[in-house]
Amino acid sequence: MKTLCKALSLLLCLTLLAGCGVIEVDDSKIIVAKVGSENITKAEFTQALTSWLGGYGYAPDSEALKDQIAELKTQLLDSMIQELVAKQKAKAMGYDQLGDEDRAAAQKEVDDWYATQLAAATEQAKANGNTDPEAAAKDQIQQYIESLGMKGLDDLVADVLSSRPVEKLREESVKDVAVTEEDIKANFDNYVAEDTAEFSADPVAFLNAARQGTTYYTPEGIYYVKHILLGFTEEEQSAVAAARKADNDEANTLRDEAALKIKAKADEVLAKVNAGEDFEALIETYGEDPGLQGGNNPSGYMTTIGDNDSYVAEFAEAAQKLGQVGMVSDLVLTDFGYHILKRTSDLPAGPAEYSEDLKTYLSGSLLQSKQEDQYNALLIRWEEEIGVTRYEDRL
């Protein structure tokens, strides 16, 4: 009976202590992964997770991430394990023995970074009217360094040096990877096949891809338009835009009032266009779209039938009515003013040219991809050699 009473008393004591917050779990003692002879603790993992997600404006308990947080945690743990595996392998290979050349390279990297940042920050401080722009720029850079948990440039140099062993490991691991002319051509042909299938079915997808980077096939029906914009004043455009958010009728009224002020000029320019005057010259003389001024966008704006989201609705509708090169629209009224559109050229359909510049680009990207594949395969092998145990249920 006494033993039972002692046990109940102890349980009650522990419960009270836990309720008062005296008993706390020490995350630095909880191991979430073993990598060889080293451990990754929950405290280290939580700090890394908080820092990683914080860079995107989230916290680990953000409601927006509740469906993805488990997968994100797994990804981060894998990354931390791979980093530790690489460090251990680099040490085993002797790459942690750094010399004066490594230190000089690290110092130069930091010095170059600092000079670039200082120049940019000083110019920004001047633009902001700061009385001592260089001092303000230095303060700004120092605050950034401290936000990284460092005190100054020496810490940055040390940080660069700390990553050098793994960099050496990777360089040595992939130095023999190469790509051949056959590899590059096969890669090109694969991209052409993929783009042909996608863009032939959806030409608008081509527009989105072309605006972001390289494409390997152009579908039928892609063309360029240019326009002469006779615009409202900035104040009028702002007023219309503000009203458009709340009341379309009010916005239309404001737009019509602004349009009346420039209608005569718009009619005059349209008459010049219809009389056959040089459209490019009229853009330079009357156009108010900076995107077409001074040699910008020399081919014009790319579009196709069904491209309803790239431009304001009235502009897009008018552009899609221009059935062939040389056709010109009537006056088109938008919230920016009056437009006169012209279809200036068609983009030839077919595969991209297999040029030397494209070969160079593909060679670089393919080499990088093959190096990444080889290094990742080695990381998996090294994990097996070193021995890794994960405790994901503790995350």
> Of 65, 92, 119, which residue sits at a domain end?
92
Flag whether 269 is in a domain.
yes
Q: With pLDDT > 90 as the criterion, what percentage of the chain qualifies?
A: 90
**Beta carbons within 8 Å of 15's beta carbon, 6+ residues apart:** none
Helix or strand run (H / E) with residue 229:
strand 223-231
265 and 287 belong to one structural domain: yes
Could you tell me if residue 87 is left (phi over 0), alpha (psi between -120 and 50 degrees) or otherwise beta?
A: alpha
* Percent of the chain residues topping a pLDDT of 70: 94
CB-based contact 231:337 (threshold 8 Å): yes
| DSSP run (H or E) holding 350 | strand 350-351
Whether residue 157 lies inside any domain: the answer is yes
pLDDT (mean) for 202-222: 96
Q: Is the pLDDT of residue 23 over 90?
A: no
Q: Which among 21-35, 137-151, 322-336 has the top mean pLDDT?
A: 322-336
Contact 69, 363 (CB under 8 A): no
Estimate to the nearest angstrom the gap between the alpha carbon of 349 and the chain centroid: 29
Residue 265 has pLDDT above 80, yes or no: yes
Q: Is residue 265 part of a domain?
A: yes
Q: What is the mean pLDDT of residues 374-392?
A: 97
Verify that 47 and 134 share a domain, yes or no: no
Whether 360 maps to a domain, the answer reads no
Q: Match 């722009």 to its residue by tokens.
A: 133
Rounded distance, CA 287 to CA 231, Å?
Answer: 8
Question: Does residue 223 surpass a pLDDT of 80?
Answer: yes
Pairwise CA distance, residues 272 & 327, whole Å = 15
Distances (CA, A) of 113 to 2, 110, 154, 316: 72, 5, 13, 44
Same domain, 258 and 308: yes
Q: What is the mean pLDDT of residues 193-204?
A: 97
| Position 323 in a domain | yes
- Tell me: pLDDT of 257 over 60: yes
Burial 73-84 (b: 16+ CB within 10 A, else e): beebbbebbbbb
Asked if 151 and 142 touch (Cβ cutoff 8 Å), the reply is no
Please tell me whether residues 67 and 155 are part of one structural domain.
no
| pLDDT for 324 | 97
* Average pLDDT taken over every residue of the chain: 92
Please give the pLDDT value at position 101.
94
Note the pLDDT tens digit of each residue in 140-169: 999 999 988 899 999 999 999 999 999 999
- Phi/psi of residue 24, each to 5°? -125, 145
281 and 335 belong to one structural domain:
yes
Residues 121 and 51 in one domain: no
Task: Please report which confidence band the pLDDT of residue 22 belongs to, taking 50, 70 and 90 as the band edges.
Answer: low
Is residue 53 domain-shared with residue 86, that is, in the same domain?
yes
Same domain, residue pair 110 and 81: no
Whether the per-residue pLDDT at 8 is higher than 70: the answer is no
Higher pLDDT, 23 or 205: 205
Q: Determine the pLDDT at residue 295.
A: 75
Split into its structural domains, the chain has a count of 3
- On whether the CB atoms of residues 262 and 340 are closer than 8 A, the answer is no
pLDDT band at 247 (very low <50, low <70, confident <90, very high): confident
pLDDT tens-digit map of 224-238: 999 999 999 999 999
- Residue 24 predicted with pLDDT over 80: no
pLDDT digits (tens, 9 = 90+) for 65-123: 999 999 999 999 999 999 999 999 999 999 999 999 999 999 999 999 999 999 999 99
* 325/237 same-domain check: yes
Do 51 and 107 reside in the same domain of the chain? Answer: no
Give yes or no: residues 81 and 117 share one domain: no
Asked if residue 164 and residue 279 are part of one domain, the reply reads no
The boundaries of the domain holding residue 284 are 223-346
- Report yes or no on 185 lying in a domain: no
Q: What band does 293 get if pLDDT is binned at 50, 70 and 90?
A: confident
